[in-house]
Amino acid sequence: MSELRRRMLADLRIRNYASATQDMYIRRVRAMAEHLGRSPADLSREEVRDYLRLLSEQGASRSTFAQVVGALRFLYAITLDRPEMVPDLPYPRETRRHPVVLSPEEVVRLLNAMANLKHRTVAMVLYGAGLRISEALALELRDIDGDRDVITVRHGKGDRDRQVPLSGVLLTTLRTYWRAYRPEPFLFPGKDGQGPMGKGTIQKAIRTARVRASIAKPVTPHVLRHSYATHLLEAGTDLRVIQILLGHGSLKTTQRYLHVATERVRSTVSPLDHLASELNTTA
């Protein structure tokens, strides 16, 4: 491991960046160094900008481009103490897209199409508690509190812990699952039993179930989380409460669900309707 890599990794850990973010930032910086054949500490602003232009020309996705910029901003502003480099590293403009949301009927069809109890239980946690896939797979038995009807999420984004409600239906399913598998300590262990199940296993199971259920929309673990949030909003749950349940750091992130909560839109009564009894409709 190079000295620069050790310094950057130490800086990330001191600032309590998630381990996945640490790994991703290190990979992005290493990829640039390998491509240019030089240490990032020796590069000029123009050389870094040329590298970013190359990524754009090669069709790098917005998320990939943003990861590279985030990694380089940290490297130059924090580890190398060269803040003059940062203004030349702009994030790509965000494309606003409404999240894909399943209807309640589609959620039922998807879950019923999952024959494997373990995979189905994970999917029910994703939808029933609104967890990210990484959060669901990191759950341990101690995180399920059936007496208080809460799930403790200990590995949330930004390493923030939170608690979410544990529904009665989900608790019943979890008990059935536990009796069948007896997992320990992870709720959803991988094949070796030493760590949690891999994300790819659930992603594949959900894709297969989508086909079996004849659902035209793309379905991923995150779509189940989107659906949880949107269905809560349509049921009248306050947006601030949804923000807390999802573990969003900003209410702005949660507000995007306002655009897809069709039931809330359809149920909104126009102020004109309140005047109906007083209006002269014969004119």
- Active-site amino acid positions: 132, 157, 222, 225, 248, 257
Q: What is the largest CA-CA distance in the chain?
A: 83
CA distance 231 to 260: 10
Strands 150-153 and 144-145: antiparallel
Q: Hey, how many other C-beta atoms are within 10 angstroms of the C-beta on 45?
A: 15
- Asked if the peptide bond before residue 185 counts as cis, ω within 30 degrees of 0, the response is yes
Give just the sign of the alpha carbon dihedral 235, 241, 246, 252: positive
171: buried, middle or exposed (CB in 10 Å: 19+, 13-18, 0-12)?
A: middle
For residue 168, give every residue at least 6 positions away whose Cβ sits within 8 Å of its Cβ, in sequence order, or none: 149
Give just the sign of the alpha carbon dihedral 20, 167, 162, 108: positive
